[in-house]
Structure 1
Amino acid sequence: MPMHTSQRARADRGRGAGLGLALVSAVAFGGSGVAAKPLIEAGLDPLHVVWLRVVGAALVALPLAVRHRALLRERPALLVGFGLLAVAGVQACYFAALSRIPVGVALLIEYLAPALVLGWVRLVQRRPVTRAAAIGVVLAVGGLACVVQAWSGLRFDPVGVLLALGAACCQVGYFVLADQGGTAGREAPDPLGVIAHGLLVGAVVLTAVARPWTLDWSVLAADADLDGTPVPAALLLAWIVLIATVLAYVTGVRSVRRLSPQVAGVVACLEAIVATVLAWVLLGEHLSAPQLAGGAVVLVGAFIAQSSAPAEGRAEPVASGGAERELSARGTAA
């Protein structure tokens, strides 16, 4: 009995640490928009901001890529998939969708990813999911609709909707690929190595898409306007690269290892709340009552989903995060 209690306490600590990492990741990702918007308003193309973000992060992570160069031989498909989907795909599809449909609608469609993860687990992997996890996803998506006010300015553009769905599918790839490491008979790859190589792959792909040779570099040498306050554009870019990308991806991947893809996906919906609150505080974009109510619903949904995991050692659906807690207990989540 004492051993069982100790194992359960260790599992609870691992889940708590995973939730904390997921929250840090959501906050870091959520801060990217507030820093990127002044750069875009200063004259940078959105795709150029994405390219600078990914290339800068790839350069920061280059020593890690060299250190984990064995992954190129051991897990090439994982690295290419992570770079194409989790790095380049999400960014490119989302920014392309913004040119055709409202920002709120695009963001809502992208954050259907947690529901799509459940669909992947249930229909493709043919594994059961907990009712609480499903309820948490429904609440989070419904609350997110209020946060982004999806009903404002809705225009039906089939291409734009498909692009936003593409971003959602790529985000599913992020959560599923970030969970790789629980495959039977194979040691989990170091998440830092996967992120480093994924950023390099994403940088190569985005270079072809964004055409950085047309970038106006003079914008980065000047100040950008942050709600009336001049801020060095280079400082905003540094925030996007170091915090909103490097820190966000590292904590996000580690959180998936400690939770489960679908639970981490629901918690990631908090990114929309963080982005909205930061825009309120730093950019003067005020929140409405429905947005505040929606934020509370997202928090409730995230809590229900992350607290749905039964005790370790029981037969449990994949949505409850059992396999990921076992990985964490073995120390595979670096």
Structure 2
Amino acid sequence: MTHPEEPLDSPALRTAGPRLSNSARGVWIALASSAAFGISGTFARGLFEAGWSPVAAVTARMAGAALVLAIPAMLAMRGRWTLLRTNWVSILLFGLFGVGACQLCYFLAVQRLDVGVALLLEYLAPVLIVLVLWVRHKKRPSVATIAGTLLALGGLVAVLDLTGTSDIDPIGVLWGLGAAVGLTVYFFISARVDGALPPIMLSAGGMAIGALSMVAVAAFGILPMEFSTGTGSFAGYETPWWLALIGLILISTVFSYTTGVMAARALGSKVASFISLTEVLFAVLWAWLLLSELPGPVQLLGGLLIVGGVVLVRVDELRSARL
């Protein structure tokens, strides 16, 4: 509704339309990014059914994404290659833990748990960040942050469904929590990297290092790297392995990253980060549609509690940043 005192051809009204249009477009782009991120576990499950091991799936995903992002990253680094020398430690840690270990743990969890449950465990990362900062700085979080943390932990209990109505693999749970630790490292390193380093270079470098770390994991016999030309199954239809792999690389990695950056630029990183929470909902939706997987009622309630707790923590974080 317009203000009556505002002329119909005023500059305010002429610019309001484009601003609203850009914001709406940004929201749709952010949702597309979350939907693309959310389907990664489903694509990975298809590769597992085709005979791939988690290490092989992670290696192919990261190596493929690194190749696709290589040229854009080099273009972004023109005249700024010295930034690699000053940020190589951060890029190395980002690739080893924030990318490699995080994705491997998530895929190992997906191998043993429902996709939605595995991602919910990974999304406990903001709670771990609160606990790490509490221990490191000896400063008690605010009431809202503590409430959000307790809410998320209560959601964790519900997701694990300790009543026994759902089958939960304890090893899968440990891998899911390992993914949460990896995501925590991802956030800490991202915050410490020199702001002059193009994000696409950090991502491409992290993907390349992560892929090499997976090769090392297999070479030392820690976990097997097994490829196959078998078939998986989506929505009851047999699908070739390469279709799941292309989806994992192009949709769940390259497209999701690109649209995530576009959304952050259109909406700001704070709003975009809130919308990214819909990734959990999309993960459950994709797994339901393509894998016929749906967490039980208690687990769905736990998922809502985890997302609600994370929202509380983030809202309090943003409020504190304004003070």
Q: Which one of the candidate residues 67, 80, 87 is aligned to 2:92? A: 80
1:239 counterpart = 2:247: yes
Q: Which residue of 2 aligns with 1:36?
A: 44
1:124 to 130, 136, 141: 136
Distance 1:73 1:125, change over 3 A: farther
Structure 2: gaps (5+ residues): 1-22
With over 3 angstroms needed to count, the CA separation of the structure-2 counterparts of 1:107 and 1:142, relative to structure 1, is farther
The 5-angstrom pairing of residues 203-214 of structure 1 reads 203-210=211-218
Matches within 5 A, 1:198-237: 198-210=206-218, 215-219=226-230, 223-237=231-245
User: Aligned partners of 2:258 and 2:192: how far apart in 1?
Assistant: 14
Alignment of 1:234-273 (within 5 A): 234-249=242-257, 258-259=269-270, 264=273, 270-273=278-281
The alpha carbon displacement at 1:241 in A equals 0.9
Q: Is the 8 A contact 1:19 1:259 kept in 2?
A: no
Preserved contact between residue 42 and residue 290 of structure 2 (Cα < 8 Å) = yes
Amino acid at match of 2:65: A
TM-score by length of 1: 0.69
Corresponding letter in the other structure for 1:33: G
How many residue pairs match? The answer is 291
Pairing of 1:142-153 with structure 2 (within 5 A): 142-147=154-159, 149=161, 152-153=166-167
Instruction: Give ranges in structure 1 of 5+ residues lacking alignment.
Output: 1-14, 324-334
Aligned to 2:199: 191
Match of residue 278, structure 1, among 274, 286, 293: 286
Do the aligned partners of 2:117 and 2:159 also contact (CA within 8 Å) in 1?
no
The SS at the match of 1:259 is helix
- CA–CA distance in structure 2, aligned partners of residues 148 and 252 of structure 1: 30
**TM alignment of 1:47-196, pairs within 5 A:** 47-67=55-75, 68=77, 70=81, 71-96=83-108, 109-125=121-137, 129-147=141-159, 149=161, 152-154=166-168, 164-181=176-193, 187-196=195-204
Of the two, which has the highest radius of gyration?
2
Give the whole-Å Cα distance in 1 for the aligned partners of 2:93 and 2:178. Answer: 14
For the residue of structure 1 that corresponds to 2:192, the secondary structure is coil
Q: Judge conservation of contact 1:64–1:196 (CA < 8 Å) in 2.
A: no
Q: What SS does structure 2 have at the residue aligned with 1:224? A: strand
CA deviation after TM superposition for structure 1 residue 20, in Å: 7.9
- Tell me how far apart the structure 2 counterparts of residues 252 and 144 of structure 1 sit (CA, whole Å): 27
Q: Deviations over 1:239-285 (max 9, x none)?
A: 2112222344456688698239xx95x87665443322221122222
1:293 alignment partner AA: L
TM-score, normalisation: structure 2: 0.71
Q: How does 1:283-294 map to 2 (within 5 A)?
A: 283-294=291-302
